[in-house]
Structure 1
Amino acid sequence: MEGDESSAHLHGTAKEVPWLRTFLTQAALCFFLFVAFNIGQPQIKVPLSSAPGLGEERSFGSSTEFYFVSVAGGSRPLELQSRLLKQMGMIAKIYKPNFVLNIGQFGEVDPLWFNVTLHPELSKIPWYTTTASKGRGIGNFMKKIQLPYEQVLEVIGIDTGPFQNFSQNEINDTDFKEQLNWLKQTLAVTSSDWRIVVGFNPLVICNQQNNKEAMILWGLFRDIFLRYRVNAYLSTNGCSSYFYNDRGTTYIENPRPTDRLQSSFFLHGVSPQEIKTYSVDYGGIVELKNSISQQGREAI
């Protein structure tokens, strides 16, 4: 009897092994197919658990963060521009940004606009663009945006054309004075919770540009930003670092098309307490780079 039971047990095991092998083989094939389909696809890598991950749907009505994108406009090689717009489209699909800030000097004829219509996720949300024209305030704009948690974000765009190639003699120039006065008057009447000024030209003084005229120009804006509690100034980059905090205002410089670094654009998340800025590179990697508190003091 014992021999029969042992023989039956061995016979049953022999029947189970092929089934198990078949199951493991099928599981392995599914795994390798999954890997094959995902090879070469851009990945989202967010190092903070508080930030949404790949595939999460964001609802502004219940979310604690409100997103927008900033990107430097201008001409790029066709392949690079296609990759940029593809990554921006992917970010738009995942994070549901409310708008895009196109930071450029050509306004509505900026080259980055030409292929946006090929990306539905980007073309269906508002784009606000800066200019650096020779006119008087042609590219100025002010947008008040209601956030989902009873706060207001105000984005103020200024035409920085009169500030290019600045010299001390231009302080009394009509266009220059009008632009400064417009900025002060616009900020003076705002009561928003968050205040962001955006322009094409950077204002941070680099060591290699540390001349008297540049210091005066920066000082003029610095005093205005301090007086009216501006949280951030967004522009294209002019220094080696993309983020600089000074007296409560953070200067955020978007990578230009000619920038050799890997970052391609920024994703900004606004919550009741802070604004987080994430860099997104051409491979689709998202990394937290900077955080601004409600008082405008840099947290990271």
Structure 2
Amino acid sequence: MGRMAETVGIECVAAIGDVHHFEGVASTQDPLWMTNYELIYSHPELMLDWYPVCGNHEYRGNTQAVLDYAKVSRRWMMPAKYYTKVIEDDNVTVRLVFVDTTPMIDKYRKDTGKYPDAGKEDIQKQLAWLDQTLADAKEDWVIVLGHHPIYADTDKNDTERTDMQNRLNAVLLKHKNVAMYICGHIHNFQHIRKPGCNIDYVVNTSGSLSRPKVNKIDGTQFCSGVSGFSLVSADKQTLDLYLIDKEGKVVYTVEHKK
């Protein structure tokens, strides 16, 4: 990933949840910040702005500490649990809209012992913010990023996806400017395009612990169990998302045209 960043000259990194797998962090001084993040993503070309969101595993710890780490690390750019950022280069604008998906799923909200912060979040306030943000967006491209998939092949409980479809996707479908929804959580690559819908739904794989068993579902354009990462590139007419394995090979490209 660092070598790819050096070759391409990336603008930033989007970390869409579960940087801290398993139990999350207890504080900004938790040793997991070193073992899960600082020592892993140590390539000089990765010393730039990172835009994170919480995954369900961060919600098993202290989510305020995830926000507060922005005061410790100058590359950890997380102003809130959901926020937006515009990237502009060569007169091309891309609006990144980062959403907090764990509170949108009822099974996390109800399990206050394991996910103590999930039920405290006002999801209607977040969805209203998202609705207004998308309505106001005038950039060349709009990408929404969150941890949990709206559509995916997985053995995880179906209610995760139905909650996401009923809450998050209901807002996305109101707006014609959303090109992609990019998520994680499943630990493999999946690209899904539903009939009659212009949104590309993409699951980004894990950087380490991949789940190689993945099958096609309705709308699947591509799926692979390799580990790796993704790279976004855009001009005025085309938005490309390159799915890249851990060896740096592009295994598939999601191409979204105007």
**Partner letter of residue 249 of structure 1?**
I
Task: Tell me: CA distance 1:159–1:174, structure 2 relative to 1, closer, same or farther (3 Å).
Answer: closer
Residues in 2 aligned to 1:285 and 1:207: alpha-carbon distance in whole angstroms? 25
- Does the 8 Å contact 2:231/2:241 carry over to 1? yes
Which residue in the other structure is 1:74 paired with?
A: none
Normalised by the size of structure 1, how large is the TM-score? 0.58
Task: Tell me: CA distance 1:230–1:89, structure 2 relative to 1, closer, same or farther (3 Å).
Answer: same
Identity %: 23
Residues in 1 aligned to 2:180 and 2:35: alpha-carbon distance in whole angstroms? 26
Q: Deviations over 1:32-90 (max 9, x none)?
A: xxxxxxxxxxxxxxxxxxxxxxxxxxxxxxxxxxxxxxxxxxxxxxxxxxxxxxxx111
RMSD: 3.3
Task: Tell me: CA distance 1:245–1:98, structure 2 relative to 1, closer, same or farther (3 Å).
Answer: same
The structure with the largest alpha-carbon Rg is 1
- Does the 8 Å contact 1:168/1:216 carry over to 2? no
Task: Tell me: CA distance 1:168–1:282, structure 2 relative to 1, closer, same or farther (3 Å).
Answer: closer
**Partner letter of residue 131 of structure 1?**
C
Which residue in the other structure is 2:82 paired with?
A: 140
Whether 2:232 is the aligned partner of 1:268: answer yes
- Does the 8 Å contact 2:17/2:147 carry over to 1? yes
Task: State which of 146, 165, 184 in structure 2 corresponds to 1:218.
Answer: 165
- Does the 8 Å contact 2:188/2:227 carry over to 1? no
- Does the 8 Å contact 2:240/2:254 carry over to 1? yes
SS in 1 for 2:164: helix
User: Following superposition of structure 1 onto structure 2, how do residues 24-39 of structure 1 map, counting pairs within 5 Å?
Assistant: none
Aligned positions, number: 204
- Does the 8 Å contact 2:19/2:37 carry over to 1? no
Structure 1 stretches lacking a partner, 5+ long: 1-87, 295-300
Task: Tell me: CA distance 1:233–1:173, structure 2 relative to 1, closer, same or farther (3 Å).
Answer: same
- Does the 8 Å contact 1:233/1:252 carry over to 2? yes
Displacement of 1:120: 0.8
Whether 2:153 is the aligned partner of 1:202: answer no
Task: Tell me: CA distance 1:111–1:196, structure 2 relative to 1, closer, same or farther (3 Å).
Answer: farther
Residues in 1 aligned to 2:246 and 2:149: alpha-carbon distance in whole angstroms? 23
Displacement of 1:101: 0.7
Task: State which of 187, 190, 194 in structure 2 corresponds to 1:242.
Answer: 190
Task: Tell me: CA distance 1:139–1:111, structure 2 relative to 1, closer, same or farther (3 Å).
Answer: farther
Task: Tell me: CA distance 1:174–1:159, structure 2 relative to 1, closer, same or farther (3 Å).
Answer: closer
**Partner letter of residue 193 of structure 2?**
N
Task: State which of 179, 195, 205 in structure 2 corresponds to 1:255.
Answer: 205
Q: Which gives a bigger RCO, structure 1 or 2 (Cα 8 Å, sep 6+)? A: 1
**Partner letter of residue 209 of structure 2?**
T
- Does the 8 Å contact 2:16/2:52 carry over to 1? yes
Structure 2 stretches lacking a partner, 5+ long: 21-27, 65-78, 111-118, 213-224
Task: State which of 97, 108, 115 in structure 2 corresponds to 1:156.
Answer: 97
Whether 2:137 is the aligned partner of 1:186: answer no
